[in-house]
Amino acid sequence: MSLILYGAPLSPFVRKVDVSLREKGVEFELESVNILPMPDWFKEISPARRIPVLRDTAVGTEGRVGTIPDSSAICAYVEQKFPAPPLYPTDPYARGRAVWLEEYCDSDLSGVVGMGIFRPIQFARFAGKDPDLATARQNYAERLPGPLDYLEGELDGHEFLVGSTLTIADITAVCVLTQLELVAGPLDASRWPALAGLVKRLSARPSFVPCLEICHKIVKQDPIDLAGD
Ligand SMILES: N[C@@H](CCC(=O)N[C@@H](CS)C(=O)NCC(=O)O)C(=O)O
């Protein structure tokens, strides 16, 4: 196996790389890395102390040589090395938009979903504590609608965020929104119909199914209705 993906399926950033490789039909091995605490050998190849990191063993098998950290850097590398099917548009403006939406979902959307909602619920459970529902509910009500409204507007009723085929923008958005679904259930389809449809369609793709099945097994509990009291 020439590619090793270091990380854990419950990370939306690892999922993004996992799904992108599967969409391209590229074989890889997912090597589990526990980040709580992060082992020393992994710190050496992850200067930012984050998962994922990809190792291309065709380039290097030990130390930093052959490794690339960061999901966006990895996906750009994978696109260059395995161009078909393309996940980044070739038209310059469309490509710019796809990269922007990838970045927006990895930063703004992921900030609200990850730190604001997923962590207060799931990390509390991992620590054997009750979920911090007050924090999760506040973020769900106050900070989440803005990014969802923005993405709904960018979809504008279309099937994909950029152009007429699947791109890295759709994959990134759905990797973050499935993180939300794991603890809070599906999006309100009456308020964000195009976005809810995108999540539903992509979640059913063969590229998403294996990772999401593992995530549901890890989370175990039913989602919590954060819109209620
Ligand atoms: N920009 C990075 C973000 C990666 C990231 O934040 N990963 C989280 C897991 S979801 C992590 O490794 N966190 C380590 C920590 O919080 O100590 C990417 O796209 O790969």
Rounded percentage of the chain residues whose pLDDT exceeds 70: 99
Is residue 35 within 8 Å of residue 178, measured between CB atoms? no
With a 6 A CB cut-off, is 35 part of the ligand 1 pocket? yes
Collapse the DSSP code of 11 into the 3-class scheme (helix H, G, I; strand E, B; otherwise coil) and give the result.
Answer: coil
**How far away, in angstroms, is 14 Cα from ligand 1 center?**
9
Q: Give the model's pLDDT for residue 198.
A: 98
Q: Give the model's pLDDT for residue 52.
A: 98
Q: How confident is the model at residue 35 (pLDDT cuts 50, 70, 90)?
A: confident
- Residue 95 reports pLDDT greater than 90: yes
Output the residue whose Cα is nearest ligand 1's atom 6: 50
Output the residue whose Cα is nearest ligand 1's atom 16: 50
Specify the ligand 1 atom closest to the Cα of 11.
10
- Residue 1 reports pLDDT greater than 90: no
Output the residue whose Cα is nearest ligand 1's atom 19: 71
Q: How confident is the model at residue 229 (pLDDT cuts 50, 70, 90)?
A: low
Rounded percentage of the chain residues whose pLDDT exceeds 90: 97
**Single-letter residue type at 211:** C
pLDDT, mean of residues 33-56: 95
Residues 106, 109, 113, CA angle at the centre, nearest 5°?
A: 105
**Tens digits of residue pLDDT in 145-167:** 999 999 999 999 999 999 999 99
Specify the ligand 1 atom closest to the Cα of 38.
17
CA 12 to chain centre: 3
- pTM (2 d.p.): 0.98
Specify the ligand 1 atom closest to the Cα of 107.
1
- Pocket of ligand 1, candidates 10, 13, 53, 115: which has the most ligand atoms within 8 Å of its Cβ, to mutate? 13
Residues 3-81, CATH architecture: 3-Layer(aba) Sandwich (3.40)
What Rg value do the Cα atoms of the chain yield, rounded?
Answer: 17
Output the residue whose Cα is nearest ligand 1's atom 2: 70
Ordered by start, the domain boundaries in the chain are 3-81, 92-219
Q: Give the model's pLDDT for residue 17.
A: 98
With a 6 A CB cut-off, is 50 part of the ligand 1 pocket? yes
Q: What is the DSSP string of 176-207?
A: HHHHHHHHH-S--TTTSHHHHHHHHHHHTSTT
Distance CA 226, CA 132 (A): 11
Q: Give the model's pLDDT for residue 228.
A: 75
Most distant CA pair in the chain, distance: 53
Q: Do domains 3-81 and 92-219 have the same CATH topology?
A: no
pLDDT, mean of residues 111-124: 97
pLDDT, mean of residues 3-19: 97
Is residue 188 within 8 Å of residue 149, measured between CB atoms? no
Task: State which fold the 92-219 domain adopts.
Answer: Glutathione S-transferase Yfyf (Class Pi); Chain A, domain 2 (1.20.1050)
